[in-house]
């Protein structure tokens, strides 16, 4: 069996562990019966761990109940860059191995549901754990928007990024984030009302900046290039500029200049929303989830 899942960008500023959008970079996993475990990888992450420790192998073995599998992974998603690579990989591996609920498998493996939910159903989603399960709602999204992503050649694990966060936040900070998330959801649905303040945050971005000190200047570069709003992508270190599609090349050029001036190697991608989510032999699995818009 074969399954493909898109990358995702989560948090989106104030939407910590709640909001995510699927983006058009993909990972494909193929799982077939074999006399012994064989793991092959191509593209991003190729050869890093072509053995039983590979995330796709661990997920597929757990789902299939055997290690007599040939597993092939082909990925376009940068690893440990805040683009949901592990969630997409776990989702595709679970689906290719025959899981009846690949989202549950991926969310459990990832530790939070937002990235996996976006990769599962596509588009912009809100995701939460409700009564022991993952509840996903597809949100309206202005299709004129594009996403310019600065992807530095620097890795940052989600676990390390979470260690930088405080254990308690003030009521003022919680209320601030709620107000900004309301503005962001409205602005992503209709770009005419999207303002730069919609991606402001007091829960995670400032606390993570010491892990990637160049982030503020790079975010400023995205804004100067014409991005409507900017934020970290997931736990970083990738940075996201939200803009109109027609403005994306200009934003990309400004971001490339900012990256060069900071003397940080990396790339700047123009990505678009993936509106299909998980596809393959288990495409019908998306019907299990509560969507409020057509796929």
What would the pLDDT profile of 193-214 be if each residue is shown by its tens digit?
A: 999 999 999 999 888 888 899 9
Q: Where are the domains of the chain?
A: 2-139, 145-271
Contacts of 177 (CB under 8 A, 6+ apart): 14, 16, 201, 202, 203
Query: Among 16, 4, 2, 8, which Cα is nearest to 207's?
Result: 16
- The pTM is what? 0.90
CATH class of 2-139: alpha beta
Identify whether 237 is preceded by a cis peptide bond (ω within 30 of 0).
yes
pLDDT digits (tens, 9 = 90+) for 111-142: 889 999 999 999 999 999 999 899 999 999 99
Mean pLDDT of the region 80-104 = 96
Q: How much is the pLDDT for 166?
A: 81
Identify the CATH class of 145-271. alpha beta
The whole-angstrom separation of Cα 184 and Cα 198 is: 5
Task: Report whether pLDDT(21) > 90.
Answer: yes
Q: What is the pLDDT of residue 235?
A: 86
Given CA atoms 68, 284, 134, 193 in this order, what sign does their dihedral have? positive
Percentage of residues of the chain with pLDDT beyond 70: 95
Residue 283, pLDDT > 70, answer no
Would the pLDDT of 172 be above 90?
Answer: yes
């Amino acid at each position: 069996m074969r399954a493909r899942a898109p990358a995702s960008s989560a948090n989106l500023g104030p939407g910590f562990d709640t909001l995510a959008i699927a983006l058009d970079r993909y990972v494909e996993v193929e799982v077939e019966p074999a006399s012994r475990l064989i793991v092959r990888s191509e593209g991003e992450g190729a050869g890093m761990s072509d053995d039983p420790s590979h995330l796709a192998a661990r997920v597929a073995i757990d789902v299939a109940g055997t290690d007599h599998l040939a597993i092939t992974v082909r990925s376009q998603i940068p690893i440990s860059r805040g683009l949901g690579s592990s969630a997409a990989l776990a989702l595709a591996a679970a689906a290719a191995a025959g899981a009846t609920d690949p989202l549950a498998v991926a969310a459990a493996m990832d530790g939070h549901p937002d990235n996996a939910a976006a990769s599962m159903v596509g588009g912009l989603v809100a995701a939460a754990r409700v009564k022991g399960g993952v509840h996903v709602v597809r949100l309206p999204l202005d299709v004129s928007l594009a996403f310019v992503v600065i992807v530095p050649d620097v890795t940052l694990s989600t676990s390390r990024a979470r260690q930088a966060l405080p254990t308690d936040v003030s009521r003022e900070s919680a209320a601030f984030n709620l107000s900004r998330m309301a503005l962001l959801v409205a602005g992503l649905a209709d770009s005419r009302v999207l303002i730069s303040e919609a991606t402001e945050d007091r829960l995670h971005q400032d606390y993570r900046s010491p892990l990637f000190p160049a982030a503020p200047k790079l975010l400023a570069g995205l804004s100067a290039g014409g991005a409507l709003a900017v934020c970290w992508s997931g736990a970083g270190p990738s940075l996201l500029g939200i803009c109109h599609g027609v403005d994306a090349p200009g934003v990309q050029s400004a971001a490339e200049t900012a990256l060069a001036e900071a003397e940080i190697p990396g790339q700047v991608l123009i990505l678009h929303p993936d509106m299909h989510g998980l596809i393959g032999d288990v495409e019908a699995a998306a019907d299990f989830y509560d969507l409020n818009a057509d796929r």
